[in-house]
Structure 1
Amino acid sequence: MAPTQAYPSIQAFYKREVPTQGDGFTEGELADALDPLNRKWDPEREYEESGIAELVPGPKAVTFVGRVVNVSTVWGRSQKQPKAAGWHYLILKDDFAAISIKLYFSRKEYPLKLGQLLTIWTVFISDASKTDTTVIPSVLIYANLFPGRVTSDHIMIHTNSSTDEICRAPLDYHKDRALPGLMTLDSYIRSGHDGVAGVKILVCIKSIGARKRITTKKGAERDLAEIILFDHTSEARCTLWGELIDSAKDWQPGKTILLISNPGYRVGYSGKGNIGIQHSTMIDINPEFPDAHWLKKYAAGLTKKESLCLEFPEDVWDIEAAEHGIYRNLYTLAEIDEWVRSEPRQVFTGYINVTIMEMSLVLHHRRNMLMCTECCGIPIYANTLHTTCLNCSKPLTLSLNPKIIGTLLDETGSIAAGKLLWSARAWEQLLGRTPAQLSDMKGEEIRALEQRMGFLRMHLVFGWAESVGRLAVLGMCM
């Protein structure tokens, strides 16, 4: 008789979870409560997909998508949720409406930033006017969430780049119409902040300051960072506090556009108005509408025009042909100016014959400004080739400061200090040494070099391209 074959029981396929001592919860349940973002979300009930504008107060299982336009964090106990260590105040918006959210957390706050796309699941929507939170213009509904404790609540933070185009339109925007309430930065600072409702300002990031820690009058320590905002009319300072500083790490000076609705107003130490961020402020990151596209293009042109440290472009001009080719034209500065204004899109090269009227080697050496670069929208200077950004701690490689060459002159015009874009090869030909060798020179050697180069007349090989936006020096000869 054949022996009976033993089959494993169903319990063998599933590992039993042993409750932890004290409250009777399993390790998995505790992990889900402490880190709700990583829990498996497989709800038993069905959630109806809805836009924020379609949400109505009352009990109903709904899910909706929106971008974070305001966030602040409070640590402390709540009478309604005694198990919470704190909560986030959020404003979420899609293309048509906004909702305020109170999001509780058990131990660790959520990694929330301005501009993030979130998907929310909840079973109850409240009327914003009947809650204990501050009433915010254009925000009519409200939701309480505690994903760590309430199994019907869940939140997902989208990190995939494929969602970048979702929920980018400003509220109240209609195609072929001006955005209601939009005013320039200068108008807002002068008078628009005084009793005007529904204000919106469209600005670009100019620079991002370093993170600082201060002690308030009440003895509490707080982190802050100052950013400079600008548009085509003015510029203003804005202070970021707490978790908003982390949002600014992804912003790029000269590129990131902010649409600030319901901005605050503060008077700075200099008496000039500053932009504040208050509980009702909404900040759209890189919104999609024509005014934002125009400001982005304006900011890019202004950055090229004002930046000291543009990177020298590669593969724009044939340097060999410019120096030794058949067609080597000698231009005056007046002829170049006329040619560029009449045919700005044409790429061409040539020679100019100019005299160095001023040199500032000694001055910039004493000021520790022989080399320069830019990071976080802030000029950085040193007398060495390598340094570290004090704001983001990024290691930087510096190049020669173009302002060490002062005014250049010919019979028809002049070029102001810092307006030329020099290649590394042209610098070495002009100075007779590499930037590394120049940085190692002592004060007397710097002075002797400056005196030797004063009133020097030379031929510069130049190149022009509209994409570069400046006259570039490809090489030089005596």
Structure 2
Amino acid sequence: MGGNGKGDASIHAFFPPTPQSSPVKRSATAHIGDGFTADELRTALQPKPAEPWQPPSEYTESDIRDLYPGPKAVTFMGRVCNLFDVANTPKTPRSAKGCVKLCVKDETGAITVRLWYADHMPALRLGSLVSIWTNHISNGENGTLSSASAPLYASLFPERDRSCHLMLHENSDNGSMHKKPLGFRKGQPLARLMTLQSFIDGGCDVLDARILVVVKSIGPKKRVTRKDETVTENISLTVQDDTAEATLGLWGSTAASPLGRAVSESSTNPEAVIVSEGWEAGETILLLQGPGCKLNRSTYLNLTSATTIDVDPDIPDAAWLRHWSVRQRSREAINPPFPEGVFDLTIIRSGPVRCLYTIADLDEVARAAPTETFQGYLSVLITEVKLHEYRKRRMLFAGECCSMPVYANDVVATCKGCDQRVVLRVSPKIIGQVMDETAVVGPGRLLFSDRAWRSLLGREPAGLLKLGDEETRYLSDRLLFCRVTLLFGWTGDESVAGGGICVLDVIA
């Protein structure tokens, strides 16, 4: 191509030269923000704690039997005697996540309460002490909203309706308020109260029959999938009285009642405590009125909509049953704890009166003075030793948890019921029969202290774990047919020592 003399007409003239380096980027401008500080943003994003509920108007305090249907601002207090979940229906408010139906009672009457909740259900349990504020009491219709024992009902939705409220008392509950059953009169027997065996033999057909039982053991909580694919929780309790034994099944929300639970530290309830204790096996008494019953090989009890349950009722029969249960558990314990502070070893060794008893003498004195505590010496011959056998069966050490025996060749084991670690002691049954010239003491009836075990075995109890098979057999043969002197104590309180002979020390 040619040019006209006025300039370079080549193709290169139409394109600027390529720069030797990248163009310099603009420096980023500083982030201006929205004008709020980090502390202000953090405060704004945190949810505001719910304000403590304050009654918007004056509420009349009333006993449950004085309530009557109609609009009126009333407040009452009582204990939860039944609790079960209510399935959602087309009539369920859209803002409600779920509903539970409570039966609340005091010493005068009972009322059914429907409690709706949107975020979470309050930590209610059977036996919980609650206060309720409501502005309307209604009659039940066709038995769907309330039962015959609690004909009136109230409906609460505290998260959406500020005119109603439910307060759960825990820290302020000393366990004495509203503990008497309905119809109880001091000095008179409780109406329709029968033994568990009478209930099984036909008393279950009696309307609103009552049975008084003690919790013997608490099983593990399970998650059960029903036929409709819904999942619920279940826990089974073994209950008993002095005539029979049965299984009580708790489902849904009631399954949490026997177990201790942790209460959130951020709880807005001023009455809340950090830890709430559960029911105790051998201690907790239940008064069941109108329970459901299934009789097969074993007796199965459950709670129906018409059932009421009093936890630790304040009646003389409950105190008697609890005392019976403590004595029974102590008698049946495979390795009860040695009673500390009951006997004085120094007095036995160096006291002015040191009595040598025979087994027959001990039996005679114990029968003549069943409530007395005494101590002395016994000279006995060990005629049976099962040390080697129990080592092979891995039962050298024994304990108890959840009313189940725990055995291991270790000083600590894990309970299969609650997965808690249990401290074990030497099994008393490694020493079988002992005898003197007058009588015989059966296996397990001698309750040895740790000092007595050291004196008898010549080592600490944990030292048995270091022995081999031959060493254990040799020690067992050494003890067999050995005459020893036992420094013993005896107490008539069977809840302390289980009616066994307490061995404080052994002299070979």
Q: Settle same-fold status: TM greater than 0.5.
A: yes
Pairing of 1:79-90 with structure 2 (within 5 A): 79-90=91-102
Aligned to 2:149: 138
Identical amino acids, percent of aligned pairs: 39
Does the aligned pair in 2 maintain the 1:208–1:378 contact within 8 Å? Answer: no
1:197 Cα deviation (Å)? 0.6
Aligned to 1:119: 131
Aligned to 1:475: 505
Aligned to 2:382: 356
Aligned to 1:61: 73
Aligned to 2:5: none
Q: Which amino acid aligns with 2:501?
A: L
Of residues 260, 273, 291 in structure 2, which corresponds to 1:263? Answer: 291
Distance 1:77 1:117 in 2: 29
SS across alignment from 2:319: helix
Distance 1:158 1:448, change over 3 A: same
Of residues 221, 231, 240 in structure 1, which corresponds to 2:241? Answer: 231
Q: Which amino acid aligns with 1:149?
A: R
Does the aligned pair in 2 maintain the 1:61–1:124 contact within 8 Å? Answer: yes
Of residues 168, 178, 201 in structure 1, which corresponds to 2:189? Answer: 178
Aligned to 1:152: 163
Distance 1:417 1:314 in 2: 22
Distance 2:352 2:394 in 1: 43
SS across alignment from 1:174: coil
Aligned to 2:402: 376
Aligned to 2:122: 110
1:298 Cα deviation (Å)? 1.4
The runs of 5 or more residues in structure 1 that have no matched partner are: 1-19, 33-38
Of residues 391, 398, 407 in structure 2, which corresponds to 1:365? Answer: 391
Does the aligned pair in 2 maintain the 1:385–1:439 contact within 8 Å? Answer: no
Of residues 417, 421, 424 in structure 2, which corresponds to 1:395? Answer: 421
1:83 Cα deviation (Å)? 0.5
Aligned to 2:52: 40
Q: Which amino acid aligns with 2:378?
A: I
Q: Which amino acid aligns with 1:343?
A: A
1:381 Cα deviation (Å)? 1.8
- What do residues 306-365 of structure 1 show as CA deviations (whole Å, max 9, x unaligned)? 222322122222212212434221111111111111123332211111122222223332
SS across alignment from 2:348: helix
Q: Which amino acid aligns with 1:247?
A: S
Distance 2:395 2:71 in 1: 64
Distance 1:72 1:311 in 2: 39
Q: Which stretch of the first structure deviates more once superposed, 160-169 or 247-256?
A: 160-169
Distance 1:97 1:365 in 2: 59
Pairing of 1:166-245 with structure 2 (within 5 A): 166-193=177-204, 195-245=205-255
SS across alignment from 1:41: coil
Is 1:274 matched up with 2:281?
A: no
Q: Which amino acid aligns with 2:305?
A: H
Pairing of 1:320-335 with structure 2 (within 5 A): 320-335=346-361
What TM-score does the superposition give when structure 2 sets the normalisation length? 0.82
Does the aligned pair in 1 maintain the 2:149–2:306 contact within 8 Å? Answer: no
SS across alignment from 1:225: strand
The alignment covers a number of residue pairs equal to: 443
Aligned to 2:443: 417
Does the aligned pair in 2 maintain the 1:210–1:390 contact within 8 Å? Answer: no
Distance 2:115 2:100 in 1: 5
Q: Which amino acid aligns with 1:426?
A: A
Distance 1:147 1:225 in 2: 29
Rg: which structure is higher?
A: 2
Distance 2:302 2:332 in 1: 27
Aligned to 1:96: 108
Does the aligned pair in 2 maintain the 1:405–1:418 contact within 8 Å? Answer: yes
Root mean square deviation of aligned Cα = 2.2
Does the aligned pair in 2 maintain the 1:423–1:472 contact within 8 Å? Answer: yes
Distance 2:334 2:80 in 1: 35
SS across alignment from 1:65: strand
SS across alignment from 2:202: helix
The runs of 5 or more residues in structure 2 that have no matched partner are: 1-43, 260-277
Distance 1:129 1:410, change over 3 A: farther
Q: Which amino acid aligns with 1:179?
A: L
Does the aligned pair in 2 maintain the 1:75–1:85 contact within 8 Å? Answer: no
Is 1:344 matched up with 2:370?
A: yes
SS across alignment from 2:124: coil
1:441 Cα deviation (Å)? 3.0
Aligned to 2:256: 246
SS across alignment from 2:376: strand
